[in-house]
């Protein structure tokens, strides 16, 4: 993998000198992962890699990319507080406890109708069951983000940039924008036997879990279909959970200088690419020639 990246990155740099800049409205979104962005405005060279937060293959891919690129900055899809919580909880029984606590804190501030409030009281048990499923798969959600931080810390002079929205802001936006979707989601989550063994009430999550267990390679087109399914079923939640954050992270990346690696969930890649093109139309998007379009588990 690392030798492939070395050869491919050489091809990217050779191609970048002759590639043309095209406005966002005229370009089809990339399918490859990672993708290299050259900003003519700032001179930044950005390596955007999308990951599967539950996939072990993502951790290896992130590590290889950072070691080969040797960036001066690594952008990670976390805020500082969330990163600290994740690092503290590595190896403990409930690594996602901090995010759950944040959700419950915000729910406690809301004046929900009785039915929704009753559903919400059952939410911790549902998330507990989901955590059990992840444990059976022997995966830690977000482990590749922690790996990115570790790799950055090994490179002299490399800075880690946490460029996602604050966790509490995400939760507030999710609950506020998603109230129309909330009952549908909660009803699905609370269906009897919905979380039996490795089953989930959401076909989108089930498809990802089946891909991980079956060692299927998960690429951008595949993830794109999952995002569209989410958007069709839960448009308000998708807007808060993906779209608003994509726009925020794309704006943060405008401050990148030099050679940069940005690590995000693969579901964010299209939104970040689209928002970047709107913010900086004089950028060139280049696939890493010969690199895989997908990430296996």
pLDDT digits (tens, 9 = 90+) for 184-222: 666 565 554 444 544 554 555 555 555 554 445 578 888
Which of 52, 81, 50 is CA-nearest to residue 164? 81
For residues 25 and 239, is the Cβ–Cβ distance under 8 A?
A: no
- Rounded CA-CA distance 159/153 in Å is 8
If pLDDT is split at 50, 70 and 90, which confidence band does 125 have?
low
User: In the chain, what percentage of residues exceed pLDDT 90?
Assistant: 32
- Phi and psi torsions of 105, nearest 5°: -65, -45
214: three-class secondary structure by DSSP: coil
For residues 60 and 150, is the Cβ–Cβ distance under 8 A?
A: no
Judged against a pLDDT cut of 50, whether residue 111 lies above it is answered with yes
The whole-number pLDDT of residue 122 equals 59
- Rounded CA-CA distance 68/50 in Å is 17
Give the DSSP letter of residue 267. G
Long-range CB pairs of 157-161, under 8 A, 24+ apart, other chains included: 157/72, 158/70, 158/71, 158/72, 158/73, 158/74, 159/72, 159/73, 159/74, 160/73, 160/74, 160/76, 161/73, 161/74, 161/75, 161/76, 161/252, 161/256
For residues 240 and 173, is the Cβ–Cβ distance under 8 A?
A: yes
Report strand pairing: 159-162 vs 283-287.
Answer: unpaired
- Rounded CA-CA distance 163/262 in Å is 9
List C-alpha distances in Å: 244 to 14, 129, 248, 262.
35, 28, 6, 18
Judged against a pLDDT cut of 50, whether residue 30 lies above it is answered with yes
More confident of the two residues 273 and 294: 273
The whole-number pLDDT of residue 40 equals 86
Domain that residue 111 falls in: 2-295
Judged against a pLDDT cut of 80, whether residue 62 lies above it is answered with yes
pTM: 0.77
For residues 79 and 149, is the Cβ–Cβ distance under 8 A?
A: no
Rg (CA), the chain: 19
The whole-number pLDDT of residue 145 equals 93
If pLDDT is split at 50, 70 and 90, which confidence band does 63 have?
very high
How many domains are there within the chain? Answer: 1
- Rounded CA-CA distance 63/2 in Å is 10
């Amino acid at each position: 993998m690392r030798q492939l990246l070395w050869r491919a990155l050489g091809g990217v740099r050779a191609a970048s000198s002759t590639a043309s800049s095209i406005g966002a409205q005229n370009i089809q979104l990339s399918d490859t992962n990672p993708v290299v962005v050259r900003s003519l405005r700032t001179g930044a060279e950005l390596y955007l890699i999308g990951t599967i937060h539950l996939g072990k293959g993502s951790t290896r891919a992130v590590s290889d990319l950072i070691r080969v690129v040797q960036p001066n900055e690594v952008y990670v899809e976390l805020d500082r507080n969330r990163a600290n919580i994740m690092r503290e909880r590595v190896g403990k029984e409930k690594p996602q406890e901090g995010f759950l606590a944040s959700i419950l804190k915000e729910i406690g501030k809301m004046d929900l109708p009785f039915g929704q409030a009753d559903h919400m009281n059952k939410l911790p048990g549902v998330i507990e069951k989901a955590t059990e499923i992840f444990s059976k798969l022997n995966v830690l959600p977000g482990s590749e983000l922690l790996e990115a931080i570790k790799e950055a810390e090994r490179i002299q002079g490399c800075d880690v940039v946490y460029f996602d929205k604050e966790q509490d802001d995400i939760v507030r936006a999710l609950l506020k924008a998603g109230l129309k979707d909330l009952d549908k989601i909660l009803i699905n989550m609370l269906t009897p036997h919905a979380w039996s063994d490795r089953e989930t009430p959401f076909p989108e999550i089930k498809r990802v879990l089946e891909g991980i267990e079956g060692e299927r390679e998960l690429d951008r087109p595949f993830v794109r279909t999952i995002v569209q399914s989410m958007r069709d079923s839960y448009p308000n939640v998708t807007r808060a959970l993906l779209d608003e954050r994509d726009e925020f992270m794309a704006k943060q990346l405008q401050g990148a200088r030099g050679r940069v690696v940005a690590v995000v969930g693969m579901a964010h890649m299209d939104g970040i690419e689209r928002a970047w093109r709107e913010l900086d139309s004089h950028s060139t998007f280049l696939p890493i020639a010969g690199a895989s379009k997908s990430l296996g588990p």
